[in-house]
Structure 1
């Protein structure tokens, strides 16, 4: 039995707790969550877990085997450094790894000296339709040439202290939300980005909100084009005032012999009951040889859908993370992967702000 220590038990931390409980060979031993309301909710999900008041107190519990960081984005680096200094246990840390460009050097230092595995939580890799698309990508396309990712979704949800409404604490939309997609671009292309061009802004959401005298500056829409060193290119289209969409994510990969797409619904809990059953995830193959389109349903276990908002991927991610910890094998999403995804997001925001392409 593997005992988890949880650092940050807000909305995403609670999703992690529910999925850890489904693993069978893991449990939540201790939780560090300073907000009393969120602490109460997390305690209701994991009533046997001990509540502690600091990262140091959590690390003092010798029963804890592995750690999860699901705190607000701007806390990740300092919490990882504190863990490294006190008791560097195997660690799963939520994206994004960091929010400020100057923090990248601190991440590189952690990567060089941290003695245990650190896995960056990139849940979108493990959504079943996206995982199937990635597995079949080469055969379906004959070699990827163009990749398009579209996310049409709901606005940012309410978080403690409204930290996700401001660039300074979230990293900005193209870091906080979209590092998932930049990670997928690198994974699908097998290449590294060399140039980023973007346009984005705040058009609809949060314009009438005020927190401590400040109006949110978080963006709600963007286009991003990324050129890779292999000659491939990828594009992201984001709209966060489109929750009426049947599918939330639509990925399309094209090559000389065909196209493959992944269609991912949004969280089941947001699907209106009056519309009937929520849509089933799909993978669509469209070869160029005239044999016709093939549509594959990729249903997800309802238990996993009920445990979180990420199409079952949080469960699959934890299962792989624990396998790496137990076997001593490598992690699938490294600190370098997490850092490069953030660098792409920061470059996209800079491009949108300046109107110029940014070279990496």
Structure 2
């Protein structure tokens, strides 16, 4: 996630009833909800038709982002009240991590299409329960919002991997060097009990990318991480935040591939916030965000010149303006709409969300206990 600017564009355009193809409810109207609201405004035929959040200031923030006509959008203090009013086709869940299980408990009893922000839940048990219910539904798409898959440069990178451009993939290295966690409503994201821990809250994105890239299942996780720099001088009800702010994590997969995540959340000045390198037996491939630079380096004999190919992967300017995930929320939304309308598959399932949570929980345990953790220990 890229640091948001103070000024946010208001992109929403009200549409007449005859033009509406899908009506969305937004559950939790904090920071991430604003990105979804702006992204929905980019697609004709979509309407934010209801808001649900117990915090009035958050509702007011959402109305500001919606712009003209927002006073006509009903607001509720709970998801149950919103569902009782009816009139929705889909719901986007943006509430704090620790509320997902209870929010989804109500939503999964409906036929609504559901886009749930990551992480799916904060514990493996809750994530498994949600996944089982989601898979048992007769109707309604369930999609976990793993935006990083949908950054255009990253999608291009993954397409190359799956097309065999590097040969047999053996190694993946992901680096995120960024700013500290932003303030959230009620400071809920300062404590592991609410987030699941940094390795769940933040890094589920990267663990999902690992699985998606190597197309295999994790078997073992080793994480060395700590809370070393950020939030050490903050107090909330007398408590100091306990969230990891830097770590190295290695994940071993059942096909023999290995992946590594290098996370540092006190690297505010980094030129590239994300860098991904994949190495196979035939070549190496790299991509950077936000530069969009993709670099292909095939293996060559020691006495031969290097044959490096460079490419820039562009991103739609409207999608960039709408959010903080390098255009990913827009691409994700289009894929979600395709799935909801029967034009394509669910690309990030509840089972994918469960797997990402499991790797994150294993990483948190590994960091705390200073040992490698087998995935079967947490599943």
TM-score tier, shorter chain, comes to over 0.9
1:306 corresponds to which of 321, 324, 331: 321
1:141-191 CA distance string (max 9 Å, x none)? 112110000000010000001111100001100000000000000000000
Q: Does 1:199 align with 2:236?
A: no
Could you tell me which runs of 5 or more consecutive residues in structure 1 were left unpaired when the two chains were aligned: 266-279
| 2:312 is the alignment partner of 1:294 | no
Structure 1 residue 328: deviation in Å? 6.5
Q: Are the equivalent residues in 2 in contact too, given 1:117–1:330 (CA < 8 A)?
A: no
Q: How many residues align?
A: 345
Cα distance, 1:291 vs structure 2:
4.6
Q: 2:357 aligns with which of 335, 342, 349?
A: 342
Matches of 2:341 and 2:85, distance apart in 1: 20
What residue number does 1:209 align with? Answer: 234
Q: Aligned equivalents of 1:192 and 1:157: distance in 2?
A: 32
- State the partner residue of 1:323: 338
Structure 2 contact 52–78 (Cα < 8 Å) conserved: yes
Aligned to 1:285: 296
> Post-superposition shift, 1:140?
2.6
- Aligned residues of 2:101 and 2:127 also touching (Cα < 8 A): no
2:102 is matched with: 78
Cα distance per residue 1:94-149 (max 9 Å; x no partner): 00011123324422431343332100000000001100000111433112110000
Find the partner of 2:279 among 254, 264, 277.
254
State the 1:294 CA deviation. 1.5
**Would you say 1:148 and 2:173 are equivalent positions?**
yes
User: Structure 2 CA distance, aligned partners of 1:339 and 1:33?
Assistant: 25
Normalising by structure 1, we get a TM-score of 0.93
Residue number in structure 2 paired with 1:128: 152
Q: If the length of structure 2 is used for normalisation, what is the TM-score? A: 0.88
Report the counterpart of residue 5 of structure 2 in structure 1.
Answer: none
TM superposition shift of 1:320? 0.7
Aligned CA RMSD, in angstroms, stands at 1.3
Of 91, 94, 105, the match for 2:114: 91
Long gaps (5+) in structure 2: 1-20
Supply the distance in 1 between the matched residues of 2:350 and 2:195 (Cα, whole angstroms). 18
**Are positions 1:113 and 2:136 aligned together?**
yes
Give the Cα–Cα distance (whole angstroms) in 1 for the partners of residues 31 and 192 of structure 2.
Answer: 19
Q: Distance in 2 between matches of 1:127 and 1:175?
A: 20
Provide the rounded CA distance (Å) in 2 between the counterparts of 1:14 and 1:318: 14
Is 1:67 paired with 2:83? no
* Equivalent residue, structure 2, for 1:176: 201
Q: What's 1:17 paired with?
A: 37
- Residue 38 of structure 1 and its aligned partner are, at CA, apart by 1.6
For the pair 1:45 / 2:65, whether they are aligned, the reply is yes
Instruction: Give 2:18's aligned residue.
Output: none
